[in-house]
Amino acid sequence: MNQDYWQKQESKPLFPDIEWSKPEQRSQAGKLLIVGGSAHGFTAVVRAYQTALNAGAGAVKVVLPDVLKSKLPPDFSEGIFLPTNDGGGLSLTGQNELLASANWADGILLIGDSGMNSEVAGLFSRLLEKTDKPLTITRDAIELLTTDGEKLANRPQTHLFMSFSQTQKLFSSVYYPKILTFSMNLANLVENLHKFTITYPISVTTIHQNSLVSAHSGQVISQKTDNQLDLISGDLATKAATYLLWTPQKPLEAIATSFTQN
């Protein structure tokens, strides 16, 4: 099987120019908006905030439901607090403020812990429609949006960091004529992601058989990993969203290079 669209990255980046192009001054390193949290959890949001700063983001702001205002440190000045819905997540009534915050940003990260209810799903769906900023989505925020898989898969500058089962659900939600199975070998997954990302303009990153696999525009990059926690915690998506701030025109290269960032 000729898979010349597949590159394998080791510990050193395939695209060192991406790392070299990282702005030295924070004022030039881009602005990231992180959205997530609910009354039931906000650890991933706080973790992503610090991870993005460590990865080199120039400025980071965090959108949270206002029920969390009293739970965060009093010196946490980067929080933007929107109304809370009855389920403890972000309310649809905060749509205009969310969109205003999105206008400030160069990139947006939906980190999860958002509360699994239809109102949050509706708010995130509006965000998909109303902004064309690069959007990175991971963890349970994926679940909120794959109910409308066609809208998600057809949005340019959208970068999904998914478990293998979430990737299966995305394929199913758009009625894609290939079925992903946990027993398939890595080469078959690569071929499927190659074809899927020719069909749709998004990028997809998942883990299978101890390999990170990322695909965009038919090109695929894989890298061995012994740690799936970085995907579960949201660290992978956060680092990638940060690298995308200064290299949005080369999404696959930016994402792959972020994998090598400690």
* Model confidence at 226: pLDDT above 80: no
Cβ–Cβ under 8 Å, residues 98 and 127: yes
Determine the residue type at 144: L
Residue among 117, 101, 97, 93 nearest 39 (CA): 117
**Reported CATH class of domain 6-259:** alpha beta
Rounded Cα distance between 159 and 168, Å, is 16
The average confidence (pLDDT) of the chain is: 93
Rounded Cα distance between 224 and 209, Å, is 9
* Model confidence at 71: pLDDT above 90: no
Residue linked to tokens 């394929």: 171
Residue linked to tokens 């440190």: 73
Cβ–Cβ under 8 Å, residues 85 and 119: yes
* Model confidence at 24: pLDDT above 90: no
User: pTM, whole model, 2 decimals?
Assistant: 0.95
* Model confidence at 22: pLDDT above 80: yes
The pLDDT of 240-260, averaged and rounded, is 95
Name the pLDDT band for 48 (thresholds 50, 70, 90): very high
Q: What's residue 27's pLDDT? A: 83
The pLDDT of 93-101, averaged and rounded, is 95
Q: Collapse the DSSP code of 15 into the 3-class scheme (helix H, G, I; strand E, B; otherwise coil) and give the result.
A: coil
Six token digits for residue 67: 């029920």
C-beta contacts of 45-53 below 8 A and 24+ residues apart: 45/111, 45/113, 46/72, 47/233, 47/234, 47/235, 47/238, 48/109, 48/111, 48/234, 48/235, 48/237, 48/238, 49/78, 51/234, 51/235, 51/238, 51/239, 51/242, 52/109, 52/238, 52/239, 52/241, 52/242
Tell me, what DSSP letter sits at residue 147?
A: G
Ordered by start, the domain boundaries in the chain are: 6-259
- % of the chain residues with pLDDT over 90: 79
Q: What's residue 1's pLDDT? A: 63
What are the tens digits of pLDDT across the range 99-138?
999 999 999 999 999 888 889 999 999 999 999 999 999 9
Residue among 131, 107, 103 nearest 30 (CA): 107
The pLDDT of 2-20, averaged and rounded, is 91
